[in-house]
Amino acid sequence: MDYQQILERIYQSILPYAKEGKQADYIPELAKVNPDQFGMSIHTIYGEEASIEQADTRFSIQSISKVFALAMCLSIKGDDLWLKVGKEPSGSSFNSLIQLEVENGIPRNPFLNAGAIVMADILYSHLENPEDDFLAFVRAVSGNETICYNQNVAMSERENGYLNAAIANLLKYHGTIENDIESVLHFYFMMCSIEMSCRELSLAFLAFANHRRKFNYAGIELTASQVKRMNAIMQTCGFYDEAGEFAYLVGLPGKSGVGGGIAAIYPLQYSVAVWSPRLNPKGNSVMGIKALELLTTETKESIF
């Protein structure tokens, strides 16, 4: 399979969508990003790789960081994690409060903001230096020591993070989180602020694409079946209220973020990351979804 040629062809086909959608502006720092950018990178478990356009430009990974948080929580808590957060698709937006109230402060799944704030609380309780340890894990799984938080993005989000603060308060009221709200929110926003390029993200996700290889990075160990289960959660919950549509169009487990990134995997074959800041109304990258739809259509490689 000549992935380089395929990616280049895909890019030409999606150019008509280049101006569709709108970048996230509820985080003021993200509104400053040039929306007319696109990158894509793919890595196979056999060592092939292909990248196009701005595949080496770093962007805010935002909710894609929730995959790394889930890996750490599963490694630390095992199945006890599921006492505090569910694993069912929500059918609601990533920052919705309604379901959380009706379901007594137990988030539907770890990829909603509420679920990720619960994971931030768990990690905050268990890690000696939460910010250092989280970054060390992301760097180890990516094989790249230069990956960093962007403090400005984290601060900018905190200053305007009224909805996430409301979610954290509801979680605290129900006793789902144990640490003080400000510390948990700060850590959550820091995790979301990590910056990576498509090439770096794709390489990191290779760890989830190949569950037959030992998963052990910076002391975070997962069994093969834990990795498979993480992929199941990416498939069912990775795109919020668009998870069904993404399964229908693309057919790969993956995770999106409001920075415009999407990382996805085809188990035992490849990992792929794509980035373009313009989002559809559900908060997922317009060109990103299109590119992945064409990738699995052209290669006939998807889980379905």
The reply on whether position 164 binds ligand GLN by CB under 6 A is yes
Nearer to ligand GLN, 24 or 222 (CB): 24
The reply on whether position 142 binds ligand GLN by CB under 6 A is no
Residue, CB closest to ligand GLN: 63
Under 8 Å between Cβ of 179 and 124: yes
Alpha carbon separation from 255 to 61, 86, 247, 261 (Å, rounded): 10, 17, 12, 8
Closest approach, Cβ 184 to ligand GLN, in A, equals 12
Nearer to ligand GLN, 41 or 164 (CB): 164
The reply on whether position 119 binds ligand GLN by CB under 6 A is no
Closest approach, Cβ 34 to ligand GLN, in A, equals 19
Closest approach, Cβ 283 to ligand GLN, in A, equals 5
The reply on whether position 233 binds ligand GLN by CB under 6 A is no
CA dist., res. 280 & res. 253, Å (int)? 19
CA dist., res. 239 & res. 111, Å (int)? 8
Nearer to ligand GLN, 271 or 285 (CB): 285
| Number of chain positions touching ligand GLN (CB under 6 A) | 11
Nearer to ligand GLN, 73 or 279 (CB): 279
Closest approach, Cβ 178 to ligand GLN, in A, equals 20
CA dist., res. 243 & res. 236, Å (int)? 6
CA dist., res. 171 & res. 168, Å (int)? 5
Closest approach, Cβ 292 to ligand GLN, in A, equals 17
Interface pick for ligand GLN out of 3, 38, 68, 94 (rule CB under 6 A): 94
Residues 236-265 that bind ligand GLN (CB under 6 A): 257-258
Interface pick for ligand GLN out of 29, 121, 157, 200 (rule CB under 6 A): 157
Residue 182, number of CB atoms within 10 A of its CB: 11
CA dist., res. 121 & res. 82, Å (int)? 14
Interface pick for ligand GLN out of 171, 192, 203, 272 (rule CB under 6 A): 192
CA dist., res. 190 & res. 150, Å (int)? 7
The reply on whether position 144 binds ligand GLN by CB under 6 A is no
Interface pick for ligand GLN out of 23, 41, 44, 63 (rule CB under 6 A): 63
The reply on whether position 185 binds ligand GLN by CB under 6 A is no
Closest approach, Cβ 27 to ligand GLN, in A, equals 7
Question: Which residues lie near ligand GLN (CB under 6 A)?
Answer: 62-63, 94-95, 113, 157, 164, 192, 257-258, 283
